[in-house]
Structure 1
Amino acid sequence: MSVTPYKVNVPEDKIGRLKQKLAAAELPDELEDAGWDLGCPLADIKRLVRYWRDEFDWRQAEAELNQMPQFMTTVQIDGFDPIELHFVHAKSPVPNAVPLLFCHGWPGSFDEASKLLPLLMGGGDDKPAFDVVVPSLPNFGFSTGPKKLGFSLPQMAMVLNKLMVDVLGYQEYVTQGGDLGYPITRYLGYLYPGHCKASHYNVTTPEPPSATHFPELYEEDQATPRTQAELDGLKRTEWFKKEGKGYMMEHTTKPQTIGYSLRDSPVGLLAWVYEKLHDWSDNYPYTDYEVCKWVSIYWFSKAGPAATMRIYYEFMHDKNPMAATINSTYLKDIKIGSSQFPKDLAVFPPLWNRTLGDLVLNKVHPSGGHFAAFERPRELAGDLEEMFGRNGGAYGVVSGRNGYA
């Protein structure tokens, strides 16, 4: 499996075509005083469209992306055509650095990890160093994707395990994931515990303990009063179920239909993604430049923005019994860690995480949202350093690589 260096370089005609479409955009009206209740406010979208068309410099964004060491390889799994897989491979100067696979989700990309790389690679006497691998998931970013049905979360995990083991030669590695990265890295720990030795998550969806499901934890949970943070977290989770899951219903049922709009209309794509950046963050002050860079990665992606939604349909229609339980299955063969941020989409009492596996880190942060690596990179990096550091519960899980020189 050959590996070739890669630089993002979008043809000029595609940039020009984007600006033409933005110039020709027709926007809807809105109700007075609607705010964010019905979705993205018209004033915000008008401002962003104008900025994206007239001021945003994609070449600057490309130069920033190309500061990360990027590569392309070809990975094939049984039953599917080869996939051209794009990935970042940021190697630490520390020879014993811990190989860490960072797995993004939707509507994220490989660029989410850009703030983490300098924090994790250096190491030192008091913290471990990491070799960080950040793939564009199949159908995302600058990776291609499958051309037929049946490519679900286990297949994502198979591709990423091949990348780490067969392409890069890391026979053992650890993972970090949120959003789709949570179930994908759960599958890595379930399917390949000999290779995936530990996983850290920045969102978890455990099954609550009950009289039949971890009864001892259930008794402890019932005997412990809820903290205000836990009550707020359950309220946040309920809000998402009632008010925030419309996109998921579309993705999991008819992604092709909404896909026409997102592929043809950059304004449609902008609104579809920007709503999530706003609603899923903890008042992170996104600049117009950051928003347009984020959305442009989707617009210029190899498979197109419509392709990124298909994984939702696939996992919702996956007939494998494990598909319904992977998020809450107890993983007995690997170490796991959790970092919880209060404005994520599923915020359950931290005690419930003990039903997920051998839990060695269970941190709760006072602020932060769904895109932890982008919003709170120092906190996330610090938790990884704690989990895999000398006093951490996952220290030394990768043979011969403890992260220290």
Structure 2
Amino acid sequence: MRNCILTVFNLPYLVKGSCVDYLPFFPLSRDQLAADDITLDAFGNFAYKIYERVLATGTGYFVEENTELNTIGTALYDNPVGQLAWIAAKIILWSDPRAGTNGSLINPEMTLNTVSLYYLTQAFANTDAPLLFSAFQYTNQYWLPEAVAMVGNLVSYTEHDFGGHSSGLDNPFGPLSDLIKIGDYFDIQ
């Protein structure tokens, strides 16, 4: 699954922490970065180039999700084939081009499993619990640590040089290694 969320559905007070690789807003533009005197390192520059390519060629998805969510949600809600088409296309387009190597789990079976998880579950809880963020080089958007910190209680930010938007499939060891660190921030019982 792309985002590893340690949560009890709809009970945010029970959330011990979360480990995510994606945020529900666009990253800062290059103009905003310059205005805030933020300089990107090599990882950030590479990731921004991927993001800018997506902005130039793939924003229809974002426009639809941000402006007509109920339309697409209703159309796909009880349509597993529609969800497969919608999600699988993004897994293919937004994954590390080295998918299927270096521990990547991207294959037809895992794509179906991922779509099934989206289809069969419906929950996300907001919380102020410790937040761990995993940045992947080939993701379609890149958030600086400062932007992630505005979302929640950021305690860890890790850059991974392998993986894309579907990091749990592309590079399952990346999010797993980050998720294991969450134990440093609370007692797991």
Normalising by the smaller structure, the TM-score range is 0.5 to 0.7
**What is the alpha-carbon distance in structure 1 between the residues aligned to residue 137 and residue 74 of structure 2?**
33
- Give yes or no for the alignment of 1:335 onto 2:130: yes
Once the two structures are superposed, residues 273-319 of structure 1 have per-residue CA deviations (whole angstroms, 9 ceiling, x without a partner) of: 432121111021299x9325634885xx6xxx7x99xx8xxxxxxxx
> Which of 203, 215, 226 pairs up with 2:22?
203
**What is the alpha-carbon distance in structure 1 between the residues aligned to residue 25 and residue 136 of structure 2?**
15
- CA 1:295–1:246 in structure 2 vs 1: closer, same or farther (change >3 Å)? farther
Aligned position for 2:9: 160
- Give yes or no for the alignment of 1:277 onto 2:91: yes
Per the TM alignment, residue 343 of structure 1 is displaced from its structure 2 partner at its CA by 1.5
Per the TM alignment, residue 383 of structure 1 is displaced from its structure 2 partner at its CA by 1.3
Aligned position for 1:227: 41
SS in 2 for 1:161: coil
Quick one: percent identity of the two aligned structures? 23
Gap runs ≥5 in structure 2: none
Per the TM alignment, residue 363 of structure 1 is displaced from its structure 2 partner at its CA by 0.6
**What is the alpha-carbon distance in structure 1 between the residues aligned to residue 150 and residue 74 of structure 2?**
38
Aligned position for 2:52: 238
- CA 1:207–1:293 in structure 2 vs 1: closer, same or farther (change >3 Å)? closer
Report the TM-score when normalising by structure 2.
Answer: 0.65
Q: In angstroms, what is the RMSD of aligned CA positions?
A: 4.3
Once the two structures are superposed, residues 325-366 of structure 1 have per-residue CA deviations (whole angstroms, 9 ceiling, x without a partner) of: x7xxxx6x4221111101222212233323233321111111
> Which of 154, 165, 176 pairs up with 1:370?
165
Matches within 5 A, 1:112-127: none
Aligned position for 1:83: none
- Give yes or no for the alignment of 1:294 onto 2:111: yes
**What is the alpha-carbon distance in structure 2 between the residues aligned to residue 363 and residue 297 of structure 1?**
23
**What is the alpha-carbon distance in structure 2 between the residues aligned to residue 296 and residue 349 of structure 1?**
30
**Contact in 2 for aligned 1:269/1:295 (Cα 8 Å):** no
Output the amino acid matched with 1:379: G
Matches within 5 A, 1:338-353: 338-353=133-148
Per the TM alignment, residue 371 of structure 1 is displaced from its structure 2 partner at its CA by 1.6
- CA 1:206–1:334 in structure 2 vs 1: closer, same or farther (change >3 Å)? farther
Output the amino acid matched with 1:278: I
**What is the alpha-carbon distance in structure 2 between the residues aligned to residue 202 and residue 354 of structure 1?**
13
Output the amino acid matched with 1:380: P
- Give yes or no for the alignment of 1:385 onto 2:176: no
**What is the alpha-carbon distance in structure 1 between the residues aligned to residue 178 and residue 57 of structure 2?**
31
> Which of 151, 173, 180 pairs up with 1:356?
151
Aligned position for 1:136: none
- How many residues end up aligned between the 2 structures? 172
**Contact in 2 for aligned 1:233/1:349 (Cα 8 Å):** no
> Which of 167, 177, 186 pairs up with 1:395?
186
- CA 1:292–1:362 in structure 2 vs 1: closer, same or farther (change >3 Å)? closer
**What is the alpha-carbon distance in structure 2 between the residues aligned to residue 382 and residue 297 of structure 1?**
20
Report the TM-score when normalising by structure 1.
Answer: 0.34
Gap runs ≥5 in structure 1: 1-103, 106-111, 114-131, 134-156, 163-187, 210-217, 312-325
Output the amino acid matched with 2:100: P
**What is the alpha-carbon distance in structure 2 between the residues aligned to residue 339 and residue 354 of structure 1?**
13
Q: Which segment drifts farther, 334-343 or 245-254?
A: 245-254
**What is the alpha-carbon distance in structure 2 between the residues aligned to residue 297 and residue 387 of structure 1?**
23
Q: Greater CA radius of gyration, 1 or 2? A: 1
Per the TM alignment, residue 227 of structure 1 is displaced from its structure 2 partner at its CA by 1.1
More helix by share: 2
**What is the alpha-carbon distance in structure 1 between the residues aligned to residue 43 and residue 146 of structure 2?**
13
RCO higher in 1 or 2 (8 Å CA, sep ≥ 6)?
2
**What is the alpha-carbon distance in structure 1 between the residues aligned to residue 61 and residue 27 of structure 2?**
25
**What is the alpha-carbon distance in structure 1 between the residues aligned to residue 73 and residue 162 of structure 2?**
36
Per the TM alignment, residue 368 of structure 1 is displaced from its structure 2 partner at its CA by 0.6
Per the TM alignment, residue 380 of structure 1 is displaced from its structure 2 partner at its CA by 1.5
**Contact in 2 for aligned 1:280/1:344 (Cα 8 Å):** yes
Matches within 5 A, 1:78-93: none
**Contact in 2 for aligned 1:233/1:346 (Cα 8 Å):** yes
Per the TM alignment, residue 239 of structure 1 is displaced from its structure 2 partner at its CA by 2.7
